[in-house]
Amino acid sequence: MSTKPVTGTEKRLTDRQDNWWIEPLFTVLSLGIFGLYAMWVAWNRQHYEFGPYISPFYSIPIPGVHARDLDWLAISPAFLVLWIPLGFRATCYYYRKAYYRAFFWDPPACAVPELRKSYGGERAFPFVLNNLHRYFWYLSIPVMIFLWYEAIKAFFFSDGFGIGVGSLIMLANVILLSYYTFSCHAWRHIAGGCLNCMSKHKTRYNLWQRITRINESHGFWAVISMFSVWFTDVYIRLCSMGTITDFRFF
């Protein structure tokens, strides 16, 4: 950060002279556009599968039920799954920090003043719902299991086992989503919280240590996994529309 002093009677929002606004702007654009894209995909109800590939937005966490079996529903089957990852991300500690800063300027960055005059914390509606994060984590586990199932299925084509670009994209996506889900602060607390003496709980301590290692980069996993979900859907959509051809390695 530059230490150049403010001169004269010039009034500034902040004395910071670095590009502190880039991060909140990136958050507004990426979260805003992703949110709109997710809603559009859900309403669209088309081009969400190609061969053994299925968009993560349409991976329904109900055994034996495929999204296309639910075409008779008045609402898009995507909404049956979408509320879980959206609730999970909306209540995530990383995203809370990101959207409080970017959308509410609460505050937008360190040493930049906030807009509000009083502080109510997360005790009133709707922000009190952020306390449900741990429960969204529980709900995300079956979603992750189904995403892994769909990712493995992506290697089985109508003519047998094979590897396509889409198979690898779906696999990479579910790995990134697993890093995001299992680097969660709530999961870390479930594993190692409320213990007076870690040495008496070796298994939980070891698990807590492993989670802590990936938890340090939780913000990174949050962002990269959002883009991977986005990219996976776009890839499958473009293949399904015939815009691009899926390359098969064998």
Which residue, 88 or 146, is less far from ligand FES as judged by CB? 88
* C-alpha pair distances (Å), 95 with each of 24, 28, 36, 226: 12, 11, 16, 11
User: Under a CB-based contact definition with an 8 Å cutoff, are residues 127 and 106 in contact?
Assistant: no
Quickly list DSSP for 138-194: HHHHHHHHHHHHHHHHTTEETTEE--BHHHHHHHHHHHHHHHHHHT-HHHHHHHHTT
| Residues binding ligand FES: number (CB under 6 A) | 10
Pattern 162-201, ligand FES, x by CB under 6 A:
----------------------xxx---------------
User: Under a CB-based contact definition with an 8 Å cutoff, are residues 164 and 246 in contact?
Assistant: yes
Least distance CB 219 / ligand FES (angstroms): 8
End-to-end CA distance of the chain: 52
Which residue, 221 or 230, is less far from ligand FES as judged by CB? 221
Least distance CB 48 / ligand FES (angstroms): 25
Least distance CB 14 / ligand FES (angstroms): 28
Least distance CB 222 / ligand FES (angstroms): 6
Site for ligand FES in 81-140 (CB under 6 A): 92-94, 133, 137
Q: Which helix (H) or strand (E) holds 222?
A: helix 218-241
Q: How far apart are CA 231 and CA 225, in angstroms?
A: 10
> Please, which residues have CB within 8 angstroms of residue 4's CB and are 6 or more apart in sequence?
17
Site for ligand FES in 209-228 (CB under 6 A): 218, 222
Query: Both tokens of residue 121?
Result: 């914390």
Q: How far apart are CA 85 and CA 26, in angstroms?
A: 21
Which residue, 137 or 230, is less far from ligand FES as judged by CB? 137
> Please, which residues have CB within 8 angstroms of residue 149's CB and are 6 or more apart in sequence?
none
Which residue, 48 or 95, is less far from ligand FES as judged by CB? 95
Least distance CB 139 / ligand FES (angstroms): 12
Least distance CB 88 / ligand FES (angstroms): 6
Pattern 34-73, ligand FES, x by CB under 6 A:
----------------------------------------
User: Under a CB-based contact definition with an 8 Å cutoff, are residues 143 and 58 in contact?
Assistant: no
Closest CA to 153 of 56, 44, 45: 56
Which residue, 58 or 137, is less far from ligand FES as judged by CB? 137
Which residue, 21 or 93, is less far from ligand FES as judged by CB? 93
Which residue, 188 or 237, is less far from ligand FES as judged by CB? 188
Which residues are at the interface with ligand FES (CB under 6 A)?
92-94, 133, 137, 184-186, 218, 222
